[in-house]
Amino acid sequence: MMFRTAELGQSVPKAEFKQKEPVLRRELLEAQQRLLKLKNRPVIVVFAGVNGAGKGETVNLLNEWMDPRWLITRAYDKPSDEEMERPEYWRFWRDLPAKGKIGLFLSSWYSRPVLDRVHNRIDEGEFNKLLEKIINFEKALTDDGALILKFWMHLSKKGQKKRFKDLEKDELTRWRVDEVDWDNWRLYEQFEEAAERVIMRTSTGTAPWCIVEGADQYFRSLTVGTIIRDEINKHLDKLEASTVTEDEVPANITTDHDSDSETLTQLKGSTVLDVMDMTLSLTKTEYKQQLQTYQARLNQLQRTALKKKLSTILVFEGPDAAGKGGAIRRVTAALDARHVQVLPIAAPTDEEQAHHYLWRFWRHLSRAGRMTIFDRSWYGRVLVERIEGFASEEEWRRAYAEINEFEEMLTDSGIVLMKFWVHITKEEQLDRFKQRELIPHKQWKLTDEDWRNREKWEDYEQAINDIIERTSTRIAPWTLIEGNDKKHARIKVIKTLCDRMEDALKDET
């Protein structure tokens, strides 16, 4: 059994602890300041394990040893009503530390899978699926540069019983033990079996588990503190050693990255956008009639969705001047503004840049029954950031899988997710740019950046072709909107939205 090494009765004399504590504390502060000064990586520390093994005491001690201004400590209980109305991982993404900070997490994303498995609320297959989600979540964070340290604090069954008894004897600590703790103690073997599976499956090279014997407070404190100090320093040493400026790279060396980019350029050809019928249009009379019909239908569907707590997320992407804003306004005109939010996504703020690129989208997810509309979205990572070089090739290539995982979490929680690519031809875009130049109240919409983006039209077409190929899934398909005629585009968006919401509401009954 893997926990035998954590049942050896290891301890540290108090005198030795008092001697080592000041040194370790100073070195932890130095590592923390080094991390804060660089501000390019977050550290995520997860505490899990046996109740009574010292998880809370260790977290409290770390807050005492280090500067708490740059620590984020989060402990999770049963989800609140607000949390229950959002995807499960919303509260974890919301609380992730920014670059340069350290997050300490208690009862985190590991709690529900273990408890559900022990109490037979899920079978082995579902347990493995939940563990796979954890692996993907942590991989997305470590791929983005985060250092993840995970501590499994362990006690033997006999040691846990003694710990509970000791806590109950003291009036000041009696409250920390309740009947649920004793019920779980009676299921100790089941918890141990589930824990072994968790550690075996989720202890990866980039997010390993450290099993710590928790019986002796001095031993566990020095062990955890030493590991955190050493791993932060090793992580930063490796980062600094791998940082090579462009001037240090010989000009005559061709990297694999360059070869890949050349291959992509050579393979450019027809895209899914080339087969769209851009002549589709509606007359003014047809447009007015259909707009009235579908907006009335959408209004009714929104009220029903609110009652049934069915959330909807709309994603709008497309070339500049494609008509995304006009389509969004026709959607919102049919809705109760109290239950819809439109989020125009621009360049990330300093706070957003200090987190994983998906963080800012997770934090904006609405409560159940609401509609959230993203005017540009997380696809910026594989569109503008790819084309303009704001994301490395490694970053945007792995983003497809990260986006699919993100969208699967949304739809698994019951959210209706719809993605619209509103397309226009290059000639139509030029006409609209010229019109904007002539209309005073629209001139602000046209910027130098719009003209620069136009010069990379073919690159953007190839990028959206790749997006549809890799992220138009059964659970979150893309809808291509022929946008040369604004009337046709707006009606197709609203009609498609109504159809999808209607199907989802039928499934709810």
Q: 297 in a domain, yes or no?
A: yes
User: Which DSSP state fits 246?
Assistant: G
pLDDT tens per residue, range 116-130: 999 999 999 999 999
Average pLDDT over residues 86-107: 97
Same domain assignment for residues 363 and 458: yes
Bridge partners (DSSP) of residue 417 are 313
CATH code of the domain containing 222: 3.40.50.300
Going by C-beta distance under 8 Å and a sequence separation of 6 or more, which residues neighbour residue 31? 228, 229, 232, 233, 236
| pLDDT exceeds cutoff 60 at 397 | yes
**Model confidence at 195: pLDDT above 90:** yes
Q: Is the residue at 212 inside a domain?
A: yes
pLDDT, average across residues 305-321: 96
Taking residues 178-197, what's their average pLDDT? 92
- The more confident residue out of 436 and 221 is 221
Residue 309 and residue 348 share a domain: yes
Distance CA 214, CA 72 (A): 23
Residues with Cβ within 8 Å of residue 484, at least 6 apart in sequence:
278, 279, 280, 281, 424, 425, 428
Does one domain contain both 291 and 165? no
The phi, psi pair for 475, rounded to 5°, reads: -85, -20
Asked whether residue 247 carries a pLDDT value surpassing 80, the answer given is: no
| pLDDT of 260 | 43
- What is the pLDDT averaged over residues 192-202? 95
Backbone angles phi, psi at 43, to 5 degrees: -120, 130
Same domain membership, residue 315 and residue 228: no
What H or E segment, with its residue span, contains residue 478? Answer: strand 478-482
* pLDDT on residue 6: 75
pLDDT in tens, 330-365: 999 999 999 999 999 999 999 999 999 999 999 999
Identify whether 260 is part of a domain: no
pLDDT over threshold 50, residue 245 = no
30-51: pLDDT as tens digits = 999 999 998 889 999 999 999 9
- Give the model's confidence band at 269: pLDDT under 50 very low, under 70 low, under 90 confident, else very high: low
Answer with the residue of higher pLDDT: 442 or 435: 435
Q: Which of 163, 130, 190, 181 is CA-nearest to residue 409?
A: 130
Query: Does position 261 have pLDDT exceeding 50, yes or no?
Result: no
SS3 call for 28? helix
Q: Which of 188-192, 249-253, 382-386, 505-509 has the lowest mean pLDDT?
A: 249-253
What's the whole-model pTM score? 0.89
Residue 188 lies in a domain: yes
Q: 242 falls in which pLDDT band (50, 70, 90)?
A: confident
Domain membership of residue 9 as a residue range? 2-242
Between these two residues, 274 and 8, which has the higher pLDDT value?
274
Question: Residue 309 pLDDT more than 70?
Answer: yes
Q: How far is CA 60 from CA 51, 56, 67, in A?
A: 16, 6, 12
Average pLDDT estimate for 11-25: 97
User: Above 60 in pLDDT, residue 78?
Assistant: yes
For position 368, what pLDDT does the model report?
95
- CA-based angle 365:371:373, to the nearest 5? 75
Q: DSSP for 375-396?
A: ES-GGGGGTHHHHTTSS-HHHH
Angle at 397 between CA 394 and CA 399, to 5 degrees: 105
- What mean pLDDT is reported for the chain? 91
SS3 state at 354? coil
Report the length, in residues, of the chain: 509
- pLDDT higher than 90, residue 507: no
What is the model's pLDDT at position 256? 42
Residue ranges in 97-248 assigned as alpha helix (H): 111-118, 124-143, 157-169, 179-186, 188-202, 217-242
373, containing H or E segment: strand 371-375
Q: Is residue 251 part of a domain?
A: no
d(CA 24, CA 15) in angstroms, rounded, equals: 15
In a domain, 263, yes or no: no
Q: What is the mean pLDDT of residues 221-230?
A: 97
Residue linked to tokens 């566990």: 220
pLDDT at 231 over 50: yes
Number of domains in the chain: 2
Instruction: Give the end of a domain, one of 242, 262, 282.
Output: 242
Given 222, 242, 262, the domain boundary residue is: 242
Specify the pLDDT at position 453: 78
Looking at residue 172, its pLDDT comes to 86
The model's confidence at residue 444, banded by pLDDT at 50, 70 and 90, is: low
From the list 140, 153, 155, 78, the residue with the least C-alpha distance to 111 is 78
**For 369-383, what is the mean pLDDT?**
97
- Same structural domain, 204 and 295: no
Same domain, 220 and 285: no
131 pLDDT higher than 80: yes
